[in-house]
Amino acid sequence: MKFVSANGASIPALGFGTFRVPGPDAERMVSHVLANGYRHIDTAQIYGNEAEVGEGIRRSGVARGDIFLTTKVWVENYKRDAFLASVDESLKKLKTDYVDLLLLHWPNQTVPLAEQIGTLNEVAKAGKVRHIGVSNFNTELMRQAVKLSSLPVVTNQVEYHPYIDQTPVLRAAKQLDMSVTAYYAMADGKVFEDAVLKAIAAKHGRSIAQIVLRWIVQQDLIALSKTVSEQRARENAAIFDFELSSEEMTAIHALAKAAGRIVSPEGLAPAWDKAA
């Protein structure tokens, strides 16, 4: 397993994501992937499966200290008292006394960012959280978060796949010593019909999912893989024994489109950065 270092955190480059994974499947798959080499699990309060993720971790038999566990505070819980209570609830559901990474799930302008970041710092200093970060932040919000925080902000988790140009976010993260965690890597299934990706996959004797995940981790980013199939989960983990050429990396980057973003919910999404 490769690790990504950012602001004092060492994060496994491949994580297992549980967005839209129903409770029973989340428990089954978390237990399975941990027993088969994954060490990074990603969930969130709004996913409604923290309890099953926690049970999957317990069932896996893998020591808690060997697992990098991420969850996210939902936007309705950003006021300090609600934030603190929600973190305690998450820890209880996850059956652990700390999470390795806690993220603000989306921007929410109804609560001052200083209050959000301040409470993130508070739970970290209380030992309930090892590292803090953000999700779905644009570059201006990333910079504000870092400026407001007395602790390092280690990642911004954003939509990233071959059809979206996230150069501004990647550049800002590098300047701020932050990592970028990529979700929606398969672009809601669009990658599986792509001729360029099919050709690269055929050349390497790999699946398209492996090619896309490799493309992400080869940029020294963190990729979240999601599946409810044990076989696919095993395949998705087998991305550290081959490399894409610089020409192949460039060809995949070239698939980006101006309208490539898929996830932009009204009322949550910030003003996204325009790619150069």
pLDDT by position in tens, the chain (length 276):
899 999 999 999 999 999 999 999 999 999 999 999 999 999 999 999 999 999 999 999 999 999 999 999 999 999 999 999 999 999 999 999 999 999 999 999 999 999 999 999 999 999 999 999 999 999 999 999 999 999 999 999 999 999 999 999 999 999 999 999 999 999 999 999 999 999 999 999 999 999 999 999 999 999 999 999 999 999 999 999 999 999 999 999 999 999 999 999 999 999 999 986
pTM more than 0.95: yes
The structural domains of the chain, with segments of one domain joined by +, span 3-253
Residues with active-site annotation: 47
**Count of positions (residues) in the chain:** 276
Q: What's the pLDDT score for residue 268?
A: 97
Q: Which residues of 126-156 are buried (b: 16+ CB within 10 A; e: fewer)?
A: eebbbbbbbbbbbbebbebbbebbebbbbbb
What is the chain's percent helix, strand, coil content, to nearest 5?
A: 45, 20, 35
Residue 155: per-residue pLDDT: 98
**3-253: what CATH class?**
alpha beta
Q: Which letter does DSSP use for residue 110 in this model?
A: T
**Cα gap 156→179, rounded to integer Å:** 7
CA 252 – CA 191 distance, rounded (Å): 10
| SS3 per-residue string spanning 47-94 | HCCHHHHHHHHHHHCCCHHHCEEEEEECHHHCCHHHHHHHHHHHHHHH
Sign of CA dihedral 178, 249, 265, 193: negative
Residue 203: predicted pLDDT: 98
256 neighbors 275 (Cβ within 8 angstroms) = yes
Task: For residue 275, report the phi and psi dihedrals to the nearest 5 degrees.
Answer: -70, 150
Q: Where are the beta strands (DSSP E) in 81-149?
A: 99-104, 129-135
What pLDDT does 234 receive?
97
Instruction: Report the alpha-carbon distance of residue 178 to residue 200 in Å, rounded.
Output: 30
